[in-house]
Amino acid sequence: MSRLDSAARIALSLALPLGASHCMYPSESAEAKRQRSRDLRKRMRAAGMTEIVLVLPTSCVDQLDAQKSRHGLRNRGQVVEQLLSEGSSADRQTA
């Protein structure tokens, strides 16, 4: 199966019977999945990116989503980047 965009995956998942598997790589072994994840993280590091996991209250996530919509950003990570750059700009102006 070729990679599908998110809208197509959602449509496909709605068409499947409850409990049916719809894995993107159904015949892929566990080790192959781990290797694919390692390769992705390696490419991200090479591009100067690092993945982190945050546990936040729902209210904070709602604020991130509101900012994302307001500024037309693609993901929450871009909102965090924007907030950090605005904070460092304000720090430079007060120093």
What does the domain layout of the chain look like in residue ranges?
A: 1-49, 52-95
| pLDDT above 70 for 87 | yes
Residue 79: Cβ-neighbour burial (10 angstroms; 0-12, 13-18, 19+): buried
Q: What is the model's pLDDT at position 12?
A: 56
- More confident site: 4 or 80: 80
Q: Does domain 52-95 correspond to CATH entry 2.40.128?
A: no
Q: What percent of the chain shows pLDDT beyond 90?
A: 49
Average pLDDT, the chain: 81
Q: For residue 11, name the pLDDT band (cuts at 50, 70, 90).
A: low
Q: For residue 93, name the pLDDT band (cuts at 50, 70, 90).
A: confident
Contacts of 33 (CB under 8 A, 6+ apart): 25
